[in-house]
Amino acid sequence: QVQLVESGGGLVQAGDSLRLSCAASGRAFSRYAMGWFRQAPGKEREFVSAISRSGDTTYDANAVKGRFTISRDNAKNTVYLQMNNLKPEDTAVYYCGASLEIIPTRPVIAPPEYAYWGQGTQVTVSS
C-alpha cells in the first residue's frame, strides 16, 4: 500500500510559479507511475501531468503544456509539479496519484488506473 501526501499549494497571482510535492510512503515507489490531477469547484477531476516509473517519459494535458513540468526523485520517494505562468483557470485542488505499472516507460493518464490518491492541496490563482 502507498500513502501520498501533497504539499506546496497556496494563493498566488497570475503569472507566478509554484512547485507542488507529493511524498510517498513505502519502499516500492519506483514501481509506480505517478500523476497529477486537479479538480475545480463544480467540475470533474481532470488529468494534468503524468510520469512513468523510470521518469523518462512524461505526458501533459494540453492546458498546461509549456507551463507545467512533472518530475520525480525515486531516491526521495517524491514526485513534483513545477507550475509556471499560473493562470486563474489553474485554480483547483491538486491531487497526486500512484498507479502500479509494469512498463517502466509508460505514463498513466486515466484516473481509474490509479489505485492510490493523496488528500489534495489547494492552488488558488488570483487575476
What tens digit of pLDDT does each residue of 39-65 get? Answer: 999 999 999 999 999 999 999 999 999
Give yes or no for a contact between 3 and 115, defined as CB atoms under 8 angstroms apart. no
Give yes or no for a contact between 81 and 29, defined as CB atoms under 8 angstroms apart. no
pLDDT for position 38? 98
Give yes or no for a contact between 70 and 81, defined as CB atoms under 8 angstroms apart. yes
- Grid cell for residue 4: 501520498
pLDDT for position 71? 98
Give yes or no for a contact between 15 and 86, defined as CB atoms under 8 angstroms apart. yes
Of the CA atoms within 13 Å of residue 30, those in its CB half-sphere come to 7
Percentage of the chain lying above the pLDDT 90 cut: 94
What tens digit of pLDDT does each residue of 14-33 get? Answer: 999 999 999 999 779 999 99
pLDDT for position 100? 93
Q: How far apart are CA 101 and CA 107, in angstroms?
A: 9
**Measured on CA atoms in the order 68, 69, 74, 75, is the torsion positive or negative?**
negative
Q: Look at residue 74 and give its three-state secondary structure.
A: coil
Residue 8 has pLDDT above 90, yes or no: yes
